[in-house]
Chains A and B, each alone.
Chain A
């Protein structure tokens, strides 16, 4: 087990290097640079060129790359052109918000999806099950932005139950007031995310349970005289949870990535929002670190998923 983890971590190093080079090249192809937007008749073009030179934007690609890697290894990931501060500071501010939002969304997703999936799988073809299938179709078919806008419109604007934008009330002061304000701002975006995130979990659980019900090992278990409730808990649910377990590594990693749509529509200051803003303003240093961060998270997610699967499914144990 530990050997596998070590080997996989070692394998990540070349993957990360290749990834960083790719991102660097792609970033170079993007038209414009941080100073493109500043061109106005009152600024001398020569001055902008001087700035470009000063920030090293005119250097050839390999030179830029090597310089960046050298700095990064010393913990300096560059400065954001937009925010005039260290990239890590910019990201750090947003990461907390995103983790809070994703954590609540994920908890809500599983709170909704697990019972629905389990009951509709166990009591399939009942009225309840049909209701769940309809819910699933709808939540799968509705695009994120449509539902998010609808939630903002109905619960934020028309009914006014929840704040529809931002992550905290600026007037909130003191620990408890701030925490409450944060939670209050999380409710709408996290419910929206949860509703959309339940589809695959419910669908997997339901079909896997229905499949497992007719499997031979369930017949064997029932032939032993095992009561049906125990057949479900000991045999069916455990087998049916395998596909969900295999995706759980990504779920953990997704806590850190944030959703562009949700954060944008609820004007929530998180990673997703930062990402799209940096792209629009060509804030290279932020984009670069973010994409690299997402890439590394993806690698860790695969590793986590494999490890989780290895612990729940004995057939996948390697050592």
Chain B
């Protein structure tokens, strides 16, 4: 069996935002790979750095207030080193991006047609007529009824689900090998969520693109992903194929997340929650186990000085050794 080449390879990526004179890393040493035909989910609470990771790959940060180091390798290019002009050839053409809020991510003053066409004009020599045909084709592909009519409408005239389909059509316009979807279903009704997820799986089957799916919804992960990376405080704490992760979660954070999904609760039983909140960027502990403040009942010996991501089973990586000692509060072993 031939070794499949990675579509995208991220090595030790650090993205720091400037506060005064200092840079604080929102993404702090992330290494990931994405293969063709694969849906890689990145899961974590709000503020864990998953969206920053996405925008870093797209190169959307302004250089004045952000510092990015490490490698984002795509086709022998390190995207971090690209200038704006070269990056613009990659953006939209090789990597498409789907954002969370479908109303906000469409320009309110432009027709749907113009917004999709805009994605095409900078990456192809298509003429007016060909662009029109391609826009129609895209609208059909994302399941929009009456595309001829919808093309001429403005974003506010469409429903949330329709808008998100348009956003997806924009991301797909140039058939990019990589698609990054940043919480694509969060702003949608549950019924629409399922439709959009089905659509994304269909697209992936049709085009063979690699998809990075960023979400905080473990239900979404279970439905769609092939592989999962769990992020906490800018780092990946666990990475595994999706079945393995759900069947055999190791890291305390992953287990706490899974434990806090409200299912089959007895009447009167309390919801499980994770203690505390994700610390702000400036207050984030940079040394030791970053999840430690949220599981204070574990003894000091449980934590490593400098937890590393290590493979504990085939394709299953966990950060540090605290998982070996972890138990839920009140369930002492």
Q: Is the CB of A225 within 8 A of B123?
A: yes
Q: Report the nearest A residue to B107, measured CB to CB.
A: A217
Most buried by B among A216, A219, A225, A312: A225
In whole angstroms, how far apart are the Cα atoms of A223 and B115 in the complex?
12
Q: How far is the CA of A238 from the CA of B111 in the complex (A)?
A: 14
The distance from the CB of A205 to the nearest CB of chain B, in whole angstroms, is: 16
Closest chain-B Cβ to A287's Cβ sits at a distance in Å of 44
C-alpha gap A173/B115 in the complex (Å): 59
Tell me which residues across on chain B come within 8 A of A234, comparing CB atoms: 110, 118
- Residues in chain B near residue A225, CB distance under 8 A: 88-93, 119, 122-123
A306 vs B8: C-alpha distance when bound (angstroms): 50
How far, in whole Å, are A234 and B170 apart by their CA atoms in the complex?
A: 16
Interchain CB contact under 8 A, A239 and B107: yes
Bound Cα distance from A239 to B100, whole angstroms: 21
In Å, the complex CA distance between A225 and B96 comes to 9
Nearest CB in chain A: distance from B274 CB, A? 29
Query: What secondary structure prevails in chain A residues at the interface with B?
Result: helix
| Interface residue A8 (Cβ < 8 Å from any Cβ of B) | no
Chain A residues whose CB sits within 8 angstroms of the CB of B109 once the complex forms: 238-239, 312-314
Report the Cα distance A312→B58, complex, angstroms.
Answer: 31
**Which residues of chain A from 189 to 246 have any CB-CB distance to chain B below 8 Å in the complex?**
215-217, 219-228, 234-235, 238-239
A223–B105 alpha-carbon span in the complex (Å): 11
B74 close to chain A: CB less than 8 A: no
B107 surroundings in chain A (CB, below 8 A): 217, 220-221, 235, 239
Chain A residue nearest in CB terms to B84: A228
A314 touches B156 (CB 8 A): yes
Contact indicator B91/A222 (Cβ below 8 Å) = yes
- For the complex, what is the distance from the CA of A223 to the CA of B122, rounded to whole Å? 11
A227 touches B156 (CB 8 A): no
- A315 proximal to B (CB < 8 A): yes
Q: How many A-B residue pairs have CB under 8 A?
A: 81
8 Å CB contact of A314 from B93, B95, B108? B108
What is the CA–CA distance of A56 and B115 in the complex, to the nearest angstrom?
67
- A219–B118 touching, CB < 8 Å: no
Q: For the complex formed, measure the closest distance between the CB of B292 and the CB atoms of chain A, giving whole angstroms.
A: 34
Q: Smallest distance from the beta carbon of B95 to chain A beta carbons, Å? A: 8
* A33 CB to nearest chain B CB (Å): 55
A217 touches B90 (CB 8 A): no
Cα–Cα distance between A235 and B105 once the two chains are bound (Å): 12
Known contacts A234-B118, A314-B156; is-contact A224 B108 (Cβ 8 Å): no
1/0 per residue B74-116: CB within 8 Å of A?
0000000000110011111101110111001111111000010
State in angstroms the CA–CA spacing of A178 and B119 once bound together.
56
Interface: B291 (CB within 8 A): no
Q: How far is the CA of A217 from the CA of B109 in the complex (A)?
A: 11
Contact across chains for B118 and A226 when beta carbons are under 8 A apart: yes
Any A CB within 8 A of the CB of B246: no
The chain B residue sitting closest to A239, CB to CB, is B109
Q: Which of A215, A223, A227 contacts B96 (CB 8 A)?
A: A223
CA distance A228 to B88 in the complex (A): 9
Q: Does B167 contact A (CB under 8 A)?
A: yes
CB proximity to A under 8 Å, residues B164-179: 167, 170-171, 173
Contacts of B23 in A (CB 8 A): none
Contact between B91 and A224, CB atoms less than 8 A apart: yes
Per-residue A-contact encoding for B44-64, CB less than 8 Å = 1, 0 else = 000000000001001010000
Residue from A215, A221, A224 within 8 A of B104 (CB atoms):
A215
Minimum distance in angstroms from B53 CB to a CB of chain A: 15
Interface assignment of B323: CB less than 8 Å from any CB of chain A: no
Query: How many Å lie between the Cα of A215 and that of B108 in the bound state?
Result: 11
Per the bound structure, the CA–CA distance linking A234 and B60 in Å amounts to 18
Q: With A and B bound together, what is the CA distance between A234 and B105 in angstroms?
A: 15
Is B154 interfacial (CB-CB < 8 Å)?
A: yes
- The answer to whether A219 and B108 touch (CB under 8 A), given A225-B91, A314-B154, is no
Assess the A216–B104 pair: CB atoms within 8 A: yes
Contact A226 B88 (CB under 8 A): yes
Q: Mark A281-319, 1 if CB is under 8 A from B, else 0.
A: 000000000000000000000000000000011110000
User: Quick check: B99 and A221 within 8 Å, CB to CB?
Assistant: no
- Select from chain B the residue with minimum beta-carbon distance to A317: B154
* CA gap between A219 and B95 in the complex, in Å: 13
- For B157, give the chain A residue with the smallest CB separation: A314
Q: Could you tell me the distance between the alpha carbons of A312 and B167 in the complex, rounded to whole angstroms?
A: 23
A235 to B115, CA, bound (A): 10
CB distance A227 to B170 under 8 Å?
no
Seen from chain B, the residues whose Cβ lies within 8 Å of a Cβ on chain A are: 55, 58, 60, 84-85, 88-93, 95-97, 99-101, 104-110, 115, 118-119, 122-123, 154, 156, 167, 170-171, 173
Pairs of residues from A and B, 3 with the lowest C-beta to C-beta distance, nearest first: A225-B92, A216-B104, A224-B92
- Can you give 9 A-B contacts (C-beta < 8 A)? A217-B108, A219-B99, A220-B105, A220-B115, A223-B95, A224-B92, A225-B91, A227-B85, A227-B122
New A-B contacts (18) at CB < 8 Å, excluding given A216-B101, A217-B104, A222-B60:
A217-B105, A217-B107, A219-B105, A220-B107, A220-B170, A221-B107, A223-B171, A224-B91, A225-B91, A225-B92, A226-B88, A226-B122, A227-B84, A234-B110, A313-B108, A314-B108, A314-B109, A315-B156
